[in-house]
Amino acid sequence: MKEGTLYLVPLAIGNPLDISPRAIECLSNVEIILCEDTRTFALNMAKFSLSANLLSYHAHNEAERNPEVLDLLAAGHDLALVSDAGMPVISDPGQSLVRACREARLRVSALPGPNAALTALVASGLDASRFVFEGFIGKRDAELRRRLLELLSEERSMIFYEAPHRLARFYNIAEEVGLGDRLLLAARELTKQYEEYSFLTLKEHLELLEIKEPRGEYVLVLEGLAEYRKRCPEAVRASEANELLERMQAGLESGKPLKEIAKELSQQFNYSKREIYQKLLDISK
Ligand code: SAM
């Protein structure tokens, strides 16, 4: 018997016109649609008179549902996976199912379509040739601080999803770790009636929050170190020199041989082994 296919079908991220004709055709042809919330999906899709059975598939039942879905596919049924908005799998359930299908050699086919991260990135004016998607990072302050500290040296543009009531926390912690002068695009309510973009430094976004309460859905696109270095070479050089100094002092305290410290640090900083060795000698005098 011919096996079925799991179709990954993107829905609109706001403007209902953004769902593609092919996505509608696919949803009309499959027998079963897996969706996060069957009632919301049925309401949103009422005008398309789809005949498929709806099966709930969300963060809390993914693991239990997967074997059942695999059996349905193996028995020849075509299924579609959708999420409440945008691309399934992206900050939404589905990855474990796709993985299970891949491992079972079952067919998976993804349709292209709306996604909030890419929509914001292309509208950001920031480097879109190389970028990283961070999604929702850090529910707890300590976790967010640790991740943002790691991202301080990220060369590429970075994309985040953030809830409006957490924006102030994101900006404050990002400023504390040293990202205050980076450019950031806050893309709000993309494709919807109150769509709005603000392209400012992170510090300026913080000031703006004092006069304007954030509402709606947000994607943040943050300038990476490579672009920031080009825009503000002096600032980057100064902060790198500070960090290097701290690392040299820590190296000296550890009692490691100067040559070893110089070699290690020259691999991480934009200074030669000789330059660092000389600086170490100067400090240790
Ligand atoms: N699967 C979706 C996608 O492909 O973009 C993302 C789902 S995730 C659960 C929801 C988050 O995506 C929101 O909190 C927000 O950060 C972002 N988002 C979704 N739609 C958006 C929109 N219209 N405008 C701005 N951000 C949006």
Over residues 255-271, the pLDDT tens digits come to 999 999 999 999 888 78
DSSP tally for the chain: helices H, then strands E: 12, 10
Report residue 178's pLDDT band, with 50, 70 and 90 as the boundaries: very high
CA–CA distance, 236 with 109 (Å, rounded to integer): 44
Q: How confident is the model at residue 120 (pLDDT cuts 50, 70, 90)?
A: very high
Ligand 1 lined by 83 (C-beta under 6 Å): yes
User: What would the two tokens of residue 183 be?
Assistant: 């450019």
Pocket test for ligand 1, best of 18, 158, 195, 218 (most atoms within 8 A of CB): 218
pLDDT score of 1: 72
The answer on pLDDT for 130 being more than 80 is: yes
Q: Is the pLDDT of residue 235 over 80?
A: yes
Question: Which residue from 18, 190, 10, 215 is spatially nearest to 116, judged by alpha carbons?
Answer: 190
Mean residue pLDDT across the chain: 94
Q: What's the 188 CA to ligand 1 centre distance in angstroms?
A: 10
pLDDT of residue 285: 77
Q: What is the pLDDT of residues 239-255, one digit of tens each?
A: 888 888 888 999 999 99
Measured in Å, residue 114 CA sits from the centre of ligand 1 at 10
State the pLDDT at residue 121.
98
- Phi, psi of 55, deg, nearest 5: -125, 130
CA distance 13 to 38: 17
Percentage of the chain surpassing pLDDT 70? 100
Residue 94 has pLDDT above 80, yes or no: yes
Whether the pTM exceeds 0.85: the reply is: yes
C-beta of residue 126 within 8 angstroms of C-beta of residue 230:
no
